[in-house]
Structures are given as C-alpha cells and as structure tokens.
C-alpha cells in the first residue's frame, strides 16, 4: 500500500508539472508557461514535442509577444544569454529553422508576416482556457 501511495503521489507531481502549463500553437510547437515563486514571476517559452524546454526553449529565450499560423511562429524574444540580441524571431513550423532577429520593418513589408497578429503570451492562456 505505501508503494501505491508513493507512485500515485509522484505521478501527480509529474503530471501537474510544478506550475507549468502548455498551449498548442502550430505543428509540434507549444507555448509553455512557467510560474516562478508562485504567481510573482511568470515566463513563457516555445517548446517542441519530444524536446526538453530547458535553456529557453526553441528560441533560447523568454517570449514577450507571440503570433502564429499554420506555417510560422513569430515571437518577440528576450534571449537567455545576454550576449545574444533580443528581438523578433521567426520559426518555420515545417522545417524548424529559426530566423532573426528581424527588423520591425520586415514584419510590416513581408506579406507572410504582416498577416500574423501578435499578442502577449498571457493572453494565449486567457483565450484558450482548458
């Protein structure tokens, strides 16, 4: 019986993810919310199914703003390593290739990107409550 209780408790901890939650974006990619110190500090990462999110996810940074469609994920990223430039990064959902940082002018003049509306990551979780 104690073994059953231990296994059940560990399963609950693993499934609950210690304050983490996910929202599907496009393809195998998802937005992950991680609450540090309770609700006092929340960060967001883009992850890929089958790959760990450690180190800042696919963009190596925290997401400040995000938008997506079936082909692209566009995110304003604050890079984890402060020697890397913050800015707009573009993820090709089909290939996994990341481009950036992009200039703001590119977002307006590129037809594929200008149609992607971006929002704060917290709004993704508010809009798509489970």
Q: Note the pLDDT tens digit of each residue in 27-63.
A: 999 999 988 766 667 899 999 998 877 779 999 999 9
Question: Residues 44, 63: contact at Cβ < 8 Å?
Answer: yes
Q: pLDDT over 90 for what percent of the chain?
A: 59
pLDDT bin (cut points 50, 70, 90) of residue 11 is very low
Of 103, 72, 71, 98, give the one whose Cα is nearest residue 87: 103
- Per DSSP, what are the bridge partners of residue 45? 32
What is the separation, in whole angstroms, between the first and last Cα of the chain?
33
Please name the residue that has the structure tokens 């809009």.
Answer: 127
- Per DSSP, what are the bridge partners of residue 33? 21, 44
């Amino acid at each position: 019986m104690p073994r059953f209780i231990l296994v059940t408790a560990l399963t609950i901890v693993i499934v609950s993810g210690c304050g983490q939650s996910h929202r599907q974006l496009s393809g195998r990619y998802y937005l992950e919310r991680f609450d540090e110190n309770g609700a006092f500090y929340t960060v967001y990462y883009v992850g890929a199914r089958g790959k760990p999110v450690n180190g800042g996810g696919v963009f190596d940074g925290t997401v400040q703003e995000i938008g997506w469609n079936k082909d692209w994920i566009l995110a304003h990223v604050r890079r984890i390593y402060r020697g890397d430039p913050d800015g707009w990064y573009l993820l090709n959902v089909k290939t996994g290739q990341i481009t950036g940082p992009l200039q703001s002018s590119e977002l307006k003049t590129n037809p594929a990107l200008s149609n992607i509306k971006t929002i704060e990551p917290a709004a993704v979780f508010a809009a798509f409550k489970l």
